[in-house]
Amino acid sequence: MDLQELRITASLAYLDLEEEEFEKLQSAVEQLLQYFSKMMEVDIEGLPPTTHALVRENRTRPDQVLPFTDTDSLLENAPETEDRFIVIPNIL
């Protein structure tokens, strides 16, 4: 994968990487993609994909409200709050 592709991929993943990191990760990504290319040897004709090991169909549950009362414990994990709001930088 060339550096340009890697930059696009990183941006899609919301990762800002330093130049040094890009170089290091590029060779690691290359090495693994090379390794993945081994999969091209397999004849996959007629094979359906496995999406989950044993779950074969979509499963639903009743659309019921299950109350969770300890909302404070969730807010306490927020890095910055004001009253009961989570603070983020300005949206311009």
Partner 1 sequence: MSSFTRWIGLLTDPKTFDSYMRYVEQVEPRIGAFIQFDPHLGLRGSSPEGLLRGVPFAVKDILAVKGFRLTCGSRILEGFVSPYTATVVEKLQRAGAVVVGKTNMDEFGMGSSTDTSFYKQTCNPWDPERVAGGSSGGSAAAVASGMVPFALGSDTGGSVRQPAAFCGIYGLKPTYGVVSRYGLVAYASSLDVVGVCAASVEMTEEIFALIRGKDERDQTSLEEAGTSGVEGFHEKNSNKIVRKIGFVSGNLGLDSGVERAYQKTQEVLRSLGYEVQPIELSMLEYYAPVYYTIATAEASANLARYTGIRYGYRPEYAENPEELVRKARSEGFGEEVKLRILLGTFVLRSGFQDQYYQRAQRIRTAIRKDFDRVFQEVDVILSPVFPTQAFKHGSEGLDPFQQKVADRFTTAANLAGIPALSFPAGLEDGLPVGFQLMAPVFGEELLFQVARRFAEAVPPLKAPFNTSPWS
Residues found near partner 1 in the complex (CB under 8 A): 1, 5-6, 9-10, 12-17, 21, 24-25, 28-29, 31-33, 35-36, 38-40, 42, 44, 47-55, 59, 61, 70, 73-74, 76-80, 86, 88-92
Classify the phi-psi angles of 5: left when phi > 0, otherwise alpha if psi is within -120 to 50, otherwise beta. alpha
**Distance of closest approach, residue 85 Cβ to partner 1, in angstroms:** 11
Please name the residue that has the structure tokens 């169909």: 57
Query: Closest CB to partner 1 among 52 and 65?
Result: 52
**Distance of closest approach, residue 8 Cβ to partner 1, in angstroms:** 8
Of 3, 32, 34, the residue nearest 20 (C-alpha)? 3
